[in-house]
Chain A
Amino acid sequence: MIHIKRIRGARRADLEAIVEIDALITRARKPEYWGEALRRYGGRGRGRFFLVADTDEGVRGYIVGEVRDWAFGQPPCGWVFEMGVHPRARLAGVGTELLEALCQSMRAAGVDKVRTLLARDNSLVLAFFRSQGLMAAPLITLEKDIE
């Protein structure tokens, strides 16, 4: 069982581990995407958070979120855009600690609600967020093919 040392802000040196974890989950390596995500959400930007779980085996999880004011006509709330835990580090509380740390940061930023958006067939991550107490939001996602 891995041991979580701390949840901290992501650094440039963590990028390789983050890209690796994401690639293991999604089967696609996206170094440019993650470089850009770190540039936008890393550091001490107001209301933007990019956290990693530092464990005795190195970085084994990440979470990215932002406080958005009136997005989709909704009062200010926190949004979780990305979350990943290394497949070998699952069931060790990494996801729970990452989400809890993000929620605390968002609470400190002045919001009392957190939301996320997931693919309907992503049952593993859906079940995780459900286990953390998230319920369906009063929003519906819609899409269409642009001809």
Chain B
Amino acid sequence: MKLQQNTRLALYSVLEFAAQPGRQLSAAEIAARYRASPHHLAKVLRKLRRAGVLAAARGAGGGYRFVANPKRLTLLEVISVFERIGPGRGRAARNGVEAALEQVLAEIDETAKATFGSLTVDTMLKLIARSR
């Protein structure tokens, strides 16, 4: 399963913010942790703010804080802000070979979608704590 770089950065960021709900973090801090460009990450965080996951923090240093409900927000909802997972990505099948292959790819997509949809941010934080 391959996610676009923006999507991965969004997932890393959401989990970083959710792990420290009271704290405001800047794009530069998260970018340094994941070796990403701060400019690039700032764009990702702006999108997460528009989606209601983060809020811009006021005061010195700026940054963002987590405002979503970690027990409700799923990985699929975060991913959906940046890309679409699911059937219908490509053009219509022109023959039996393409149709059969599309069917298998759709099966994989549906499984991925169900997996991401079943994992809340809160569950991910528990998983992270267990793997430390």
The chain A residues found within 8 Å of chain B, CB to CB, are 120-121, 123, 126-127, 129-131, 133, 136
Contact = CB atoms under 8 A, between A and B. Distances in A.
B114 A127 contact: no
Interface stretch (B3-11, B12-20, B30-38, B116-124): B116-124
30 contacts: A120-B110, A120-B111, A120-B114, A121-B114, A123-B74, A123-B114, A123-B117, A123-B118, A126-B114, A126-B117, A126-B118, A127-B74, A127-B117, A127-B118, A127-B119, A127-B120, A127-B123, A129-B118, A130-B118, A130-B119, A130-B120, A130-B123, A131-B71, A131-B120, A131-B122, A131-B123, A131-B126, A133-B126, A133-B130, A136-B115
Contacts, number: 30
A131 B73 CA distance: 13
**Helix, strand, loop or mixed for chain A's interface?**
helix
Interface in B62-82: 71, 74
Nearest to B124: A130
Contacts of B126: 131, 133
Those 3 A-B pairs whose CB atoms lie nearest each other, nearest first: A126-B118, A120-B114, A131-B123
A123 B114 CA distance: 7
Contacts of B118: 123, 126-127, 129-130
A140 to B, nearest CB: 9
B131 to A, nearest CB: 11
Contacts of A129: 118
Contacts of A130: 118-120, 123
Given A120-B110, A123-B74, A129-B118, 12 more contacts: A120-B114, A121-B114, A123-B118, A126-B114, A127-B74, A127-B117, A127-B118, A130-B118, A131-B120, A133-B126, A133-B130, A136-B115
